[in-house]
Amino acid sequence: MQINIPLPVEKVLEFLRANNFQSFIVGGSVRDILAKREIKDWDFTTNATPEKIQAIFPESFYDNQFGTVGITVEELIKQFDLQNYDPAKDNLELGSVFEITTFRSDGEYKDNRRPETVTWGDSIEDDLQRRDFTINALALKKENGSFEIIDLYNGQKDLENKIIRCVGNPDERFGEDGLRLLRAVRFAAQLGFIIDPQTLNSIAKNAHLIQNISWERIRDEILKMVVYEYSSDGFKLLLSTGLLHFILPELEKTVGVKQAGHHTKDVWHHSIDAMKACPTKDAIVKFACLLHDVGKPIAYREENDKITFYGHEVVSGKIAKKVGQRFHFSNKDQERLYLLVRYHMFSYQKNMTDAAIRRFIRKVGLENIQDMMTLRIGDRVGGGSKETSWRLTELQQRIKQVLYTPMQIKDLKVDGHDVMQILNINGGPKVGQVLKTLFDEVMEDSQKNDREYLLKKIEELK
């Protein structure tokens, strides 16, 4: 079988064999080779123990009990003296890590998260039988200049037919690691595959096991899923299998919530359509787009056949903040998520002053302005409208114009030293109060950011 692989990948395979160890490319790497997809992670398996792997790859590192040794592409290039090799041509980065894992058999799983014991295996068969899905239970070896696929569970057939299917009994696989429930859906969203009926039924049956999984692991899968081409299908699967109830019950409550005006779909379908249409690969922005109307079930009112959601953006912002905390987002990402959801209902009128535009920018955060515009595009397209409107276009133009005017106190043409000198004080809260007063005035009229004018103003504040 003729397959082209990056030179460092080939060197790892050859070097393990040269040291009398078996060597295979395994898992998602093989799946993506066969599917002719871009490969981001290269994984290997071998009968060498971690200690022996580290002995022949001296710059490698090992920090877990599951037999996985890591080594960076940069170190491999040094070790094999690949002086003229350009990793970029193979979509490799110098800091990326190759993972080499010892064949293993897993012991009993008692917590639906990790095996109680791990035993080093003797063969590739031992290793493949513990894997989650058939399309990931593939191995590739090279001998005598040609490649051979090891496929014990018809993974190639499932890959060809675009099916996600568990290796062996799905109830057992999901009982071993509850995250596999979510990974099955994530793979379907990533690859555009369907889930085998037996596997799908088992996901629904065992959906409650996701409660045993850490929020960090759940978060990572969700943030991968929101940027995929078939993300909306993935969330439909989360809903139909019951996983959404345990992961994002707030979003589940949007199902069937009617809308009015230009909206032709309920809040649920609008939300997943908006997420899919949001033109970015930034997972936080995509996630914010998914949650932007999550407060509508609470804000819903219907009087005289008229549906309203007054203040739903405030409610949605509070919910988004709680979700960000639950998912253990970084403080920065929690704040971004909150701001994008809380202020997504921004509006623009022709008679808005520059001061009003500046207040909007300060409220949202200059660094979040483009993301807010991107979210609005997703919201519009997900609601059946065009990507943009004259209002959105004109607002963007106005924002560009006012960015040349003061946006922060440090942009003032005077500073704290001027205040202390004129007021004859040695610092303290008074300095900040004066600067804030000056800044508020400049925010209303940027032409007042004139040093001579501001010095006189300080005099008046004595």
- We report the CATH number of the domain holding residue 79 as 3.30.460.10
Reported as a pLDDT band with limits 50, 70 and 90, residue 407 is: low
Q: What is the domain extent for residue 71?
A: 7-161
Same domain for 33 and 152, yes or no, is yes
Residue 396 forms part of a structural domain: yes
Each residue's pLDDT tens digit, 211-233: 999 999 999 999 999 999 999 99
Residue 371 forms part of a structural domain: yes
Reported as a pLDDT band with limits 50, 70 and 90, residue 60 is: very high
Secondary structure in 3-state letters for the chain: CCCCCCHHHHHHHHHHHHCCCCCEEECHHHHHHHCCCCCCCCEEEECCCHHHHHHHCCCCEECCCCCEEEEEHHHHHHHCCCCCCCHHHHCCCCCCEEEEEECEEECCECCCCCECCEEECCCHHHHHCCCCEHHHCEEEEEECCEEEEEECCCHHHHHHHCEECECCCHHHHHHHCCHHHHHHHHHHHHHCCEECHHHHHHHHHCHHHHHHCCHHHHHHHHHHHCCCCCHHHHHHHHHHHCHHHHHCHHHHCCCCCCCCCCCCCCHHHHHHHHHHHCCCCCHHHHHHHHHCCCCHHHHCEEECCEEECCCHHHHHHHHHHHHHHHCCCCHHHHHHHHHHHHCCCCCCCCCCCHHHHHHHHHHHCHHHHHHHHHHHHHHHHHCCCCCCCHHHHHHHHHHHHHCCCCCCHHHCCCCHHHHHHHHCCCCCHHHHHHHHHHHHHHHHCHHHCCHHHHHHHHHHCC
Mean pLDDT of 181-199: 97
Same domain for 55 and 153, yes or no, is yes
- 8 A C-beta contact, residue 251 and residue 268: yes
Percent of the chain with pLDDT over 90: 61
Would the pLDDT of 107 be above 70? Answer: no
Would the pLDDT of 196 be above 60? Answer: yes
pLDDT at 30: 95
Same domain for 15 and 145, yes or no, is yes
Would the pLDDT of 396 be above 90? Answer: no
- 8 A C-beta contact, residue 253 and residue 297: yes
CA distance 109 to 238: 24
Same domain for 179 and 143, yes or no, is no
pLDDT at 406: 60
Same domain for 294 and 216, yes or no, is no
Residue 1 forms part of a structural domain: no
- 164-198 burial, b at 16+ Cβ within 10 Å, e below that, comes to bbbbeebeebbbbbbbbbbbbbbbbbbbebbbbee
| Domain stops at, among 107, 135, 161 | 161
pLDDT at 4: 84
Same domain for 415 and 396, yes or no, is no
| More confidently predicted of 266 and 460 | 266
Percent of the chain with pLDDT over 70: 95
Mean pLDDT of 371-378: 93
| Domain stops at, among 161, 195, 226 | 161
Same domain for 327 and 428, yes or no, is no
Q: Tell which residue, 293, 323, 321, has the closest CA to residue 309.
A: 293
Would the pLDDT of 248 be above 70? Answer: yes
pLDDT at 187: 96
| Domain stops at, among 388, 404, 420 | 404
Instruction: Say how many domains are in the chain.
Output: 4
Would the pLDDT of 260 be above 80? Answer: no
Task: Supply the CATH number for residue 394's domain.
Answer: 1.10.3210
Each residue's pLDDT tens digit, 437-448: 888 888 777 778
pLDDT at 262: 67
pLDDT at 134: 97
Lowest pLDDT segment from 54-68, 395-409, 439-453: 395-409
pLDDT at 404: 60
| More confidently predicted of 278 and 305 | 278
Mean pLDDT of 22-45: 92
pLDDT at 347: 78
Same domain for 29 and 126, yes or no, is yes
Same domain for 152 and 194, yes or no, is no
Residue 2 forms part of a structural domain: no
Same domain for 241 and 264, yes or no, is no
Q: Tokens for 122?
A: 């003797």
pLDDT at 243: 98
Same domain for 116 and 236, yes or no, is no
CA distance 321 to 339: 9
Reported as a pLDDT band with limits 50, 70 and 90, residue 108 is: low
Reported as a pLDDT band with limits 50, 70 and 90, residue 46 is: very high
pLDDT at 64: 72
pLDDT at 213: 96
Reported as a pLDDT band with limits 50, 70 and 90, residue 256 is: very high
Each residue's pLDDT tens digit, 111-161: 666 656 677 888 899 889 889 999 999 999 988 788 999 999 999 999 999
Would the pLDDT of 264 be above 80? Answer: no
Each residue's pLDDT tens digit, 350-361: 878 877 888 888
CA distance 312 to 341: 10
Same domain for 316 and 419, yes or no, is no
- 8 A C-beta contact, residue 234 and residue 270: no
